[in-house]
Chain A
Amino acid sequence: MNVVETKNIEKVFRDADLEVCAVNDVSLTIQEGEFTAVVGPSGSGKTTLLNMIGGLDVPTSGSVKVASQELTELSKNELINFRLFNIGFVFQSYNLIPVLTAFENVEFVMLLQKISQKERKQRVEELLEAVGIPEKANVRPAQLSGGQQQRVAVARALAPKPAFIIADEPTANLDSKSTKILLDIMQKLNEKEGITFLFSTHDQRVIDRAKRVITLTDGKITSDQNMKE
């Protein structure tokens, strides 16, 4: 089943008479269970593409379908709600609310979804277990390392049982050890639970772990490889 399907999407930024075509005529599909990296040099349009797929930004033209829903047809408020129930996000930095504990940060999205307290508690514990830091449940983000914070962010992204998880350079601020741990967790979730991941990266070690690598150059897909060994 197609989780994501884009058709000829284009994003043009207009800055004081200067036009930048950040994403240029991109059509791609992502299927359930993929573990896909979007790579390319800085400014090639990775973030812009992921934002449009994640419903954070709207394309100038073209269509984006996520879980069979055409995103360009949704109003702003509907789009926010769609994100809440269908897409998990891991950002490069500043993922967590500083005043909430790890537990509460993960629980938060489920609160917005109005999931019962009992179910929330069970799921948060499960997820913190899955990302390997159950003992950090009652710790605030400031007391967590960068790698641990990203693991909480992955747990939070999984909490609403989204169709897939988008991660824009999730390891950019991590050292190689934390990068490896985070990727191990993501890979395990992908292989054991069938969670779909779509992430962007600059890091060759991260690229090596991907099952599919899409390369962007100047907003266009210049290569799309399956890396099955």
Chain B
Amino acid sequence: MMIQFAVVLATFMAAFRSGIMESQVANVVGGFQGYGTINDTAFIKEPFIDHIVAYDDSTIKYLESQLQISAYSPRIIGGGMLTCGDKFKIIRVTGVDPYLENQLTHLSSALIEGRMMQNSGEVVLGARLAQRIKADIDSTVYFSGLGYHGNSANMLLRVVGIVKLSNVEEDKRLALISLSDAREGFALYEGVNQVVLSFNDNTRALETVNQLKSTFTQSSQLYAWQELNEPLYMLVAINDAANIIISAMLYFVISFGLFGTILMMLAERKREFGMLIALGMQKSKLGYIVYLENTLLALIGTALGFLIAVPLIFYFNEFPLDISGQMAEDMEKYGFQAQLRTSVKGIIFLGQAMAILGITLLFSSYPILKIRSMDAVKAMQS
């Protein structure tokens, strides 16, 4: 009973804690930012249109040849003011290749209205931005900002689609145009500001980027999301550390519970054990049987605990808990998704199972020591 509860609690909490962080990373990094990027060092501090990186045939050849890179998308990013009627907002216009971008961020599946851009002069807006400037499908919006090398950039654009990004900050300033429109509009005819990358195993972004650095000529321009979004990376690291501490505390509590159960069992059955030794049962044999008994109980308990926990964890991964009200607003303000989702990473189940099994096996051996030093007559008299 004790063990089942411990397993359910431990796995469930671990799954939630990791899940919240995982979906946060997936949301912020996977949503639009990208798990890796190629950009100028200066662009990190100041995302200014003049900071460009090469994007030519050799770059494309390189990106295509790297098996670890699953998708890439070149972007031109320019700041300015977007006006619709008498409403305006300071935003960033991002020029992308619609096909490559969709390979990477699957933005077309975030469309809530209209379509992605196909022709020149079309723009797709983030839902919160559209709402803010009161733009709808077919609205005409006007962008005026700074182009490459001091050129002025002025574009008249027609809204053809509205996407809703789960990352609120990004959604508030998203205006997508085609890469060719961006080249014309910003007068940037070679190179791009950023090439965003996605990897086969995005959980190993940092390692993958470090490997790529050895083969990429412009290695100083290659970054993993951890290097670009340090606050989020810190948060993940802190969360990981907190997980270890919380797990340790949980195991400590579980250990006490288990040890208590075993002590109670020993006290309850002391006379029985004494009698068995008196009748002629070797202590080693008795100890072994009691150990098997405890281990078996622990295994069954762990298994039952998992039987309860695993479906729940998968359920809350598929159907996360929505947070509402003030708390949801606060979370969104800090760029968090107002959802509680569990992680279904195998390592969480395995880790918890191993830890609890280890603790149980350790404590199950205590009765062996007790029985070895047991005096049959005294035990029977107790």
Is residue B137 contacting chain A, with contact meaning CB distance below 8 A?
no
> B285: which A residues are within 8 A, CB to CB?
112
Residues 259-286 of B, flagged 1 when their CB comes within 8 A of A and 0 if not, give 0000000000001100111111111010
User: Of A80, A82, A94, A98, which one neighbours B281 at CB under 8 angstroms?
Assistant: A80
List CB contacts (< 8 Å) of A134-191 with chain B. 156, 160
Is residue A97 contacting chain B, with contact meaning CB distance below 8 A?
yes
> A82: which B residues are within 8 A, CB to CB?
280
User: Of B271, B279, B283, B377, which one neighbours A84 at CB under 8 angstroms?
Assistant: B279
Is residue A95 contacting chain B, with contact meaning CB distance below 8 A?
yes
Contact at B271–A94, with CB atoms within 8 Å? yes
Contact at A56–B377, with CB atoms within 8 Å? yes
> B277: which A residues are within 8 A, CB to CB?
80
Interface residues on B, range: 10 to 19
Q: Is the interface of B mostly helix, strand, loop or mixed?
A: helix
Q: Determine how close the nearest CB of chain A comes to the CB of B123; give it in whole angstroms.
A: 77
Q: Give the number of chain A interface residues (Cβ < 8 Å).
A: 21
**What separation, in Å, do the CA atoms of A108 and B377 have in the docked complex?**
20
List CB contacts (< 8 Å) of A88-121 with chain B. 89, 91, 94-95, 97-98, 108-109, 112
Contact at A56–B376, with CB atoms within 8 Å? yes
Is residue B107 contacting chain A, with contact meaning CB distance below 8 A?
no
**What separation, in Å, do the CA atoms of A56 and B366 have in the docked complex?**
24
Contact at A109–B279, with CB atoms within 8 Å? yes
Q: Determine how close the nearest CB of chain B comes to the CB of A107; give it in whole angstroms.
A: 12
**What separation, in Å, do the CA atoms of A85 and B279 have in the docked complex?**
9
A interface list, Cβ under 8 A from B = 51, 56-57, 77, 80-85, 89, 91, 94-95, 97-98, 108-109, 112, 156, 160
B interface list, Cβ under 8 A from A = 271-272, 275-283, 285, 376-377, 380
- 18 A-B pairs (CB sep. < 8 Å): A56-B278, A81-B280, A82-B280, A84-B279, A84-B280, A85-B280, A89-B278, A89-B279, A94-B271, A94-B272, A97-B272, A97-B275, A97-B276, A98-B272, A108-B279, A112-B279, A112-B280, A112-B281
4 smallest CB-CB distances across A and B, nearest first, come from: A84-B280, A83-B280, A94-B271, A56-B377
